[in-house]
Structure 1
Amino acid sequence: MAVFTPVTLDDVQQWITQFPLGKPIALKGIASGIENSNFFLDIEQGAQVQQYVLTIFENLSFEQLPFYLQLMRHLADRQVLVPAPIANNQGELIVALHGKPAAIVTKLEGSSQMAPQPVHCAEVGAMLARMHLAGCDYPLQQPNLRGLDWWNATTPKVLPHLSDSNAHLLRVEMHFQEAFAGCDTYKQLQTGPVHADLFRNNVMFDGERLTGFFDFYFAGCDTWLFDVAVTVNDWCIDLATGVLDVARVRSLLDAYHGVRPFTDAEQTAWQPMLRAGALRFWLSRLYDYYQPREAEMLTPHDPTHFERILRERIATLAPKLF
């Protein structure tokens, strides 16, 4: 992610002695995203060099982080393909570096698939369903920190920057989502830990083989359907217009449904939830664009992308869940 906290190899040399890993020989900042400081960390282990990911958390606290790191460990232990957090010699997954919480996780194989085809979407759908089921017995609870409460707190901060048309869109959609969140159908939706940010750049592939989901630091407890909606809104669209690609949507939803069947309540809630997924990321991109933070490497995402998607979800019915 964007490098907010500079770290050198010298900084890491002493710090890493508390981990049962080996000698660090290279450190490189990862220049994408806007939430945490991430680095590739090469560690010498005998005759081999193993690569890990070092993350310094810029916004999440020591108190919040156990939910995320222990969730990743929980999922990895149940054969869900995610990075495995590494504990230090005291069994701690989160330790301080430059006064901020930090963690080391294993690095996934492969690369992000930025031009997905139906076969890739099917892999994502099936793994997402397995992830949801694997999280059913996860004991920790933490709400989605970018859920409705955050939308309500953020809307007045971005409204003054918007055109009349976009301000109207935001007010109307917020009213719609508040009513939707209070309805009986919403209360029937299945809930549990969700990734909540499963974009193309947060999934790794080796050819057509999915090798893992990563970047769980927006995860929380929410409806599983919200997770599906966020995923479809990125994996299954024409990027220029936000229009859904029916073949990719069908592949992702059918693969998910084959592992964890959708419910009738989820079918009813599908279109509103696609709108909710678009609204969440329109709001966060507006906030990052108009309230930027300093960083060594930082490029805020274009808010108009999710404005287009939201308008498209309001105007056009999506393919049904099943």
Structure 2
Amino acid sequence: MSVYTSIENHQLEDFLSHYNLGHLVDYQGINAGIENTNYFVTTSTGEFVLTLFEQFSINYDELPYFLELMAYLAEHDIPSAHPLADKEGHYLRQLKAKPAALVQRLRGKEVEIPTLAQCHAVGKVLGRLHVISPHFPHHRANGRGPHWWKTTAERVLPCLKAEDAYLLQAELHFQASYQHSDLPRGVIHADLFRDNTLFEGNTLCGVIDFYYACNDVLLYDVAVTVNDWCTLPNGYLDEQRFDAIFESYCENRPLTSLEFETWTVMLRAAALRFWLSRLQDLHFPRPGEITHTKNPDVFRNILQARIDTQEEHILSLKKYRQ
């Protein structure tokens, strides 16, 4: 959620004229994230988020998937921002020759150091999402799965110091041994970091930024979430936060025996994926007016910590197995 494309007041006013949202009061760029162009927009009838979809971010043909998914989740008790239809009933329009959409602006703000109650809330909503998501009628492959890992690794490897290159190649070799064809699948958020949730106190008011959502292994989504929400500064897991997420998740969707056996592999896969994306953003940045590059070493250290403590993660799951 960065600003790559600037818009003028008159351009936004013209865009809003196609909606029944009153007149423009104010707007400002959202200085966070790294993918699309986002603005907070205030009109005489309410507050909204405007997203302009950048060409490097998303295949335009896939945009209806994301918008329909957000509407589907909002209509099934997931606190997702429902897209707004224009006067003709369409969620998607054009602004500055780019696809654009308005969604409801949800209450709350992101958290930096989550409380146990907030972790419990995230685990609960993720479990709920995974119960209903297999019934969503549309399908999208994971664009940042193993094939993307391989091609991105080839691109960034020449930029790495020897020990990081060795770690990256060794992990790719390890992950290639697993196919996960028998694991439960459905729609996953695939990026449920703390900055993609909105809280008021310990109340979860919103899950946002579904633009990595896809059909994939549900357990992978849990691992992505745990790696961000439960990681200490040294890269290791905070056991209390982990228990809060895992317990509330399993109350909604108990894991299968095979998922328990694959858990440590998934933790490593989730760390690998975000290490690679941050390496790519660091070494091959995209131009933008307001953009952020996040430190790849965070996920390099998480990956190493997951490797070092694999046996501990296996033991920590014993109490959850039936």
CA distance in 1, matches of 2:252, 2:86: 35
Give the secondary-structure state (helix, strand or coil) at the position aligned to 2:99: strand
Aligned to 1:289: 282
2:44 is the counterpart of 1:51: no
Aligned to 1:41: 41
By how many angstroms is 1:278 displaced? 0.1
2:223 is the counterpart of 1:229: yes
Paired letter, 1:265: L
Aligned to 2:207: 213
Give the secondary-structure state (helix, strand or coil) at the position aligned to 2:204: strand
Aligned to 1:320: 317
Which of 77, 80, 84 in structure 2 is aligned with 1:79?
77
1:5-16 equivalent positions in 2, closer than 5 A = 5-16=5-16
Paired letter, 2:229: W
Aligned to 1:2: 2
CA distance in 2, matches of 1:263, 1:122: 21
1:112-127 equivalent positions in 2, closer than 5 A = 112-127=110-125
By how many angstroms is 1:200 displaced? 0.4
Please say which of residues 18-27 and 162-171 is displaced more in the overlay: 18-27
Paired letter, 2:255: F
The question of whether the paired residues in 1 share the 8 Å contact of 2:115 and 2:202 is answered with no
By how many angstroms is 1:206 displaced? 0.7
CA distance in 2, matches of 1:178, 1:89: 49
Deviations 1:216-274 (A, max 9, x none): 00110111100000000000111x21110000001100000001111111100000000
Paired letter, 2:6: P
Aligned to 1:156: 154
By how many angstroms is 1:294 displaced? 0.8
1:84-123 equivalent positions in 2, closer than 5 A = 84-123=82-121
CA distance in 1, matches of 2:140, 2:176: 20
Aligned to 1:31: 31
Paired letter, 2:152: T
Give the secondary-structure state (helix, strand or coil) at the position aligned to 1:18: coil
Give the secondary-structure state (helix, strand or coil) at the position aligned to 2:103: strand
In structure 2, stretches of 5+ residues that fail to align are none
Deviations 1:79-118 (A, max 9, x none): 1111000111222111111111111000111111111021
Please say which of residues 113-122 and 270-279 is displaced more in the overlay: 113-122
Paired letter, 1:57: F
In structure 1, stretches of 5+ residues that fail to align are none
CA distance in 1, matches of 2:50, 2:261: 41
Aligned to 2:193: 199
By how many angstroms is 1:316 displaced? 0.3
CA distance in 1, matches of 2:147, 2:86: 35
The question of whether the paired residues in 2 share the 8 Å contact of 1:38 and 1:56 is answered with yes
The question of whether the paired residues in 1 share the 8 Å contact of 2:33 and 2:291 is answered with yes
By how many angstroms is 1:62 displaced? 2.5
CA distance in 1, matches of 2:23, 2:176: 52
Q: Which runs of 4+ in 1 moved over 4 A?
A: none
By how many angstroms is 1:30 displaced? 0.4
Give the secondary-structure state (helix, strand or coil) at the position aligned to 2:121: helix
RMSD between superposed Cα atoms in Å: 1.0
Paired letter, 2:196: N
Paired-residue identity, %: 40
Aligned to 1:273: 266
C-alpha spacing 1:61/1:89, structure 2 compared with 1 (3 Å) = farther
The question of whether the paired residues in 2 share the 8 Å contact of 1:125 and 1:253 is answered with yes
Aligned to 2:61: 63
Paired letter, 2:223: A
1:162-177 equivalent positions in 2, closer than 5 A = 162-177=160-175
Count the aligned residue pairs.
313
Which of 275, 282, 306 in structure 1 is aligned with 2:299?
306
Aligned to 1:140: 138
The question of whether the paired residues in 2 share the 8 Å contact of 1:198 and 1:231 is answered with yes
By how many angstroms is 1:163 displaced? 0.7
The question of whether the paired residues in 2 share the 8 Å contact of 1:282 and 1:303 is answered with yes
CA distance in 1, matches of 2:157, 2:134: 38
Deviations 1:130-169 (A, max 9, x none): 1111212111110111111111111110000001111111
Paired letter, 2:21: L
The question of whether the paired residues in 2 share the 8 Å contact of 1:95 and 1:101 is answered with yes
CA distance in 1, matches of 2:60, 2:303: 34
The question of whether the paired residues in 2 share the 8 Å contact of 1:61 and 1:101 is answered with no
TM-score (norm 2): 0.95
Paired letter, 1:196: A
